[in-house]
Amino acid sequence: MSTTKTIIYGLYGDDDLLIDGVKQLRDKGIKINEVYTPFPVHGLDKAMGLKESRMSEFAFFYGALGLTVACLLTWYTMNYDWQQNIGGKPSFSWGENVPAFIPIMFELTVFFAAHLMSITYLILNRHYPGQKPQNPDPRTTDDKFLVEISNHDYEQVKEILIATGVEEISVKKIEDEKNN
């Protein structure tokens, strides 16, 4: 069974026009698949109606994991595996020597948070090694803004895009073949 998917692209030259266009499209009940911009546009996420990111929760979890690993590492190394009498002061407990371990705990907290956040970002955004670029118009890496809309009435979308100051409208039809 073959289905045709229609994708409408609206190209803007100004980020203020882009936000106005996105708001008007959403007000008319038109779902926007993606917006491609050359730089972060303040307020675009709210205009698109995107949910708030949970990345800060991941960052806290990863930092706590790094701190836990650092605490276990310092305890295991200094009090269990390789006890040393440094300066005539034996290490009776990990808690008595915590000030000496603070730099290690800080560094491992930052290390775990930074590296695992980078990996999480790449996975959540589907940026896998060897993946082809998904940007439909290379001008969006320079100075243009592109709105991508799927499976809507072309004439209705075209009217809204023109009313909001779009510079260019293009349509792409994709054949999807599904075996049932």
135 has pLDDT over 90 = no
Run of H or E residues at 101: helix 98-124
Asked whether residue 77 carries a pLDDT value surpassing 90, the answer given is no
**Residue 82 clears pLDDT 80, i.e. is over it:** no
The torsion region of residue 7 among left (phi > 0), alpha (psi -120 to 50) and beta comes to beta
Q: Residue 180: what pLDDT?
A: 45
Q: How confident is the model at residue 99 (pLDDT cuts 50, 70, 90)?
A: confident
Average pLDDT value for residue range 157-178:
85
SS3 83: coil
Residue 21 banded pLDDT, cuts 50, 70, 90: very high
Mean pLDDT of 84-103: 74
CA distance 105 to 101: 6
Nearest to 45 by CA among 35, 54, 55: 35
**Predicted pLDDT at 19:** 94
| Lowest mean per-residue pLDDT among 34-48, 78-92, 166-180 | 78-92
pLDDT of residue 48: 92
